[in-house]
Amino acid sequence: MATWDPAQYLNFADHRLRPALELLARIPVDSPVRVVDLGCGPGNVTRYLRERWPLAEITGLDSSAEMLARAREADRSIQWEQADFGTWQPAQPPQVIYANAALHWLGDHAALIARLMGFLAPEGVLAVQMPRNFREPSHAMMADAAHGGPWAKRVTGLLRPPPVEEPQFYYDVLAPLSRRLDIWETRYLQVLSGENPVAEFTKGSWLKPLLDALEEPERSAFEADYRRRIAQAYPRREDGTTLFPFQRLFIVAVK
């Protein structure tokens, strides 16, 4: 199980928060009894679920003890649970399962999403947001760097094909299971600051398992190789900013 760094992840909390709130705003449920934040991370988004539904029983679920420790410090009114959300089952049917930037870590999305829909209470809602940026240089260059050095044998086995399918795939899975279904994509033009910020962005998520597989000095050498490639692909502009286009897929399915 990966060890996650909440501080690194939260370096770009504002950019990660915007799609989370846009997803939350599109959930057509007024007074749910039970709400699950699946893959809640450090809980920075879960608190917005609490603000919207103050009377609901809210559970934040994540596989990372480090992320949940950070979450518990921020809000003890929420039930925080450590579990593998690929095999998790709710004790009682929730009215909302909210999965923001979480399901792309798991495979077999057809079976996974059908399974989550099956957990919902009648007229419950599955709300999903996943990055769909895996063919862009920010992610493709991880493979280039992985294959490009003496660390290749230790990291290439961790490389994954793009984990998120085309929107039509999710429509075909969910249409037979849903009374109402809304699927859309948004491409954000993220304006970042700092030194090589795209490399810092991915270091808190998709790059981390590759770094964790290496020991020094290979870890630093691999990261330096990746950072060099990324700095060329996303150069700093004259005003000091770096533009990082980022595409995300959204799904709101009403059972």
In a domain, 1, yes or no: no
How does pLDDT run across 32-56, given as a tens digit for each residue?
999 999 999 889 899 999 999 999 9
- 195 pLDDT band, cuts 50/70/90, is very high
In a domain, 170, yes or no: yes
Partners of 204 in the beta sheet? none
Query: DSSP secondary structure string, the chain?
Result: -----HHHHHTTHHHHHHHHHHHHHT---SS-SEEEEET-TTSTTHHHHHHH-TTSEEEEEES-HHHHHHHHHH-SSSEEEE--TTT---SS--SEEEEES-GGGSS-HHHHHHHHHHHSPTT-EEEEEEE--TTSHHHHHHHHHHHTSTTHHHHGGG--------HHHHHHHHGGG-SEEEEEEEEEEEEE-SSSHHHHHHHTTTTHHHHHT--TTHHHHHHHHHHHHHHHHSPPPTTS-EEEEEEEEEEEEE-
In a domain, 11, yes or no: yes
Share of the chain above pLDDT 90, in %: 81
- 206 pLDDT band, cuts 50/70/90, is confident
pLDDT of 70: 87
CA distances from 62 to 71, 82, 185, 197 (A): 10, 5, 25, 26
What's the total number of domains in the chain?
A: 1
Range of the domain at 93: 6-254
How does pLDDT run across 130-146, given as a tens digit for each residue?
999 999 999 999 999 99
pTM of the shown model:
0.91
| Phi/psi-derived region of residue 35, left when phi > 0, alpha when psi is between -120 and 50, beta in every other case | beta
Does the pLDDT value for residue 10 go beyond 70?
A: no
In a domain, 250, yes or no: yes
CA distances from 212 to 29, 142, 149, 203 (A): 40, 14, 16, 11
How does pLDDT run across 84-102, given as a tens digit for each residue?
988 899 999 999 999 999 9
CA distances from 193 to 55, 89, 198, 237, 246 (A): 39, 41, 9, 10, 15
- 13 pLDDT band, cuts 50/70/90, is low
- 27 pLDDT band, cuts 50/70/90, is very high
Partners of 182 in the beta sheet? 252
CATH number at residue 29: 3.40.50.150
In a domain, 32, yes or no: yes
